[in-house]
Amino acid sequence: MSIDRYAKQRIFLGREADEGLRSKRVAVLGLGALGSVIAPWLARAGVGHLTLIDRDLVEQSNLQRQLLYGESDLGRPKAEVAAERLREANSSIDLTPVVADLTSGNARELLSGFDLICDGTDNFEARFLINDVAILTGTPWIYAGAIGGEGVIWPLHPPHTPCLRCLIEEPPAGGDVDTCDSAGVLGPAVGVIASWAALEALKMLTGKAPHTDLVRFDFWHDERQFLKPPRARCRFCTEKVTEFLDARWTLKASALCGLEGVQIRVNPPGKLDLTALKARLETRTRSPWKQVGMMLKGHEGPDEITLFADGRALVHGPMTPERARSWYTEVVGC
């Protein structure tokens, strides 16, 4: 009986706080190692609505730490697999998978209407977009990140708390930050950080104040820091200046870090007619292309290409970003 599903949690939280969770709406952006732990905790706790957003497909190198996925999920969109797994865990909540790339053109639409946004991303571009949406809509969010054997977590709710830009004004330059590809990452380290983020989420959703410090734990070297939030507020959150949401760009082609390949992103994300495109690509490449759900996969010479309905493309092979950009413009148009 579902009546007892939340019994143990209700003893601790109290009936009102527990039942309040059923009417909450949370977006989990990024369903990698962090999202794989945050989302199940919230689903099992009975958060009434979860929107699960991720642009990626499950890859072999994810399985070491991304607990939602198994070998049979390789090549499938993470958001869809995640929704299936969480539905098995709790069929009484509303789960909406969204396979999408967050850009300035869709961030406001994708992240509006929630009681909380959980950061499960691995990049500052996305975090600064979340921060802008939070500033604009007054939605609280939880910044979380992990790398190597360490991680950080910081619950934010501007204007009641500082915003991300009060601490870091600009996203660090690409070469300045370690990534999972340069520093590696240990699964359990991400797991602790993500569980902590889920715990702070439960506080925020039940009306209890979250902790205010930026917490940094290096689990491998047994170091921990509780950093007091900056006292001075930046002009971005005080004047509601949303530079990242306001940024205009149409096409970006970048080398996939750690892998041989290129990612192409379009802004705002579009709506490709995959059936029409399939016919065109088959004529062009004289080889079969396969449409699977929201994806189209095939080969152009030695490169394996995946096109998504939202306009994004992944090219695995020797193609350079410049060449991939012109291939895309030629074939898909822009």
Spell out, one character per residue from 232 to 261, where the chain touches Zn ion: x when CB under 5 A holds, - when not.
--x--x------------------------
DSSP H or E segment with residue 278 = helix 274-285
Which of 215-251 are b and which e, b meaning 16 or more Cβ less than 10 Å from the residue's Cβ?
A: bbbebeeeeeeeeeeeeebbebbeeebbebbeeeeee
As measured in angstroms, the least distance from the Cβ of 176 to Zn ion is: 21
Residue 264: name the closest of 78, 75, 55 by CA.
Answer: 55
Q: Which is nearer to Zn ion, 130 or 163 (CB)?
A: 163
Residue among 165, 265, 278, 312 that touches Zn ion (CB under 5 A): 165
As measured in angstroms, the least distance from the Cβ of 154 to Zn ion is: 12
Q: Which is nearer to Zn ion, 65 or 165 (CB)?
A: 165
As measured in angstroms, the least distance from the Cβ of 163 to Zn ion is: 3
Residue 214 within binding range of Zn ion, rule CB under 5 A: no
Which of 35-44 are b and which e, b meaning 16 or more Cβ less than 10 Å from the residue's Cβ?
A: bbbbbbbbbb
Say if CB 68 and CB 160 are below 8 A apart. no
- Residue 311: other Cβ atoms inside 10 A: 21
The stretch near Zn ion (CB under 5 A) out of 7-15, 74-82, 92-100, 229-237 is 229-237
As measured in angstroms, the least distance from the Cβ of 172 to Zn ion is: 17
Q: Judged by CB under 5 A, how many residues of this single chain contact Zn ion?
A: 5
d(CA 311, CA 272): 6
Residue pointed to by tokens 């977006």: 27
The encoded tokens of residue 139 equal 């939605």
> Which one of the listed residues 118, 163, 166, 180 is annotated catalytic?
180
Q: Which is nearer to Zn ion, 238 or 267 (CB)?
A: 238
As measured in angstroms, the least distance from the Cβ of 108 to Zn ion is: 18
Would residue 180 show up in a list of annotated catalytic residues for this protein?
A: yes
The stretch near Zn ion (CB under 5 A) out of 76-84, 193-201, 230-238, 243-251 is 230-238
Residue 256: name the closest of 52, 56, 80 by CA.
Answer: 56
* Mode of pairing for the β-strands spanning 303-308 and 313-316: antiparallel
Residue 134 within binding range of Zn ion, rule CB under 5 A: no
- Footprint of Zn ion (CB under 5 A): 163, 165-166, 234, 237
Which residues carry out catalysis?
180
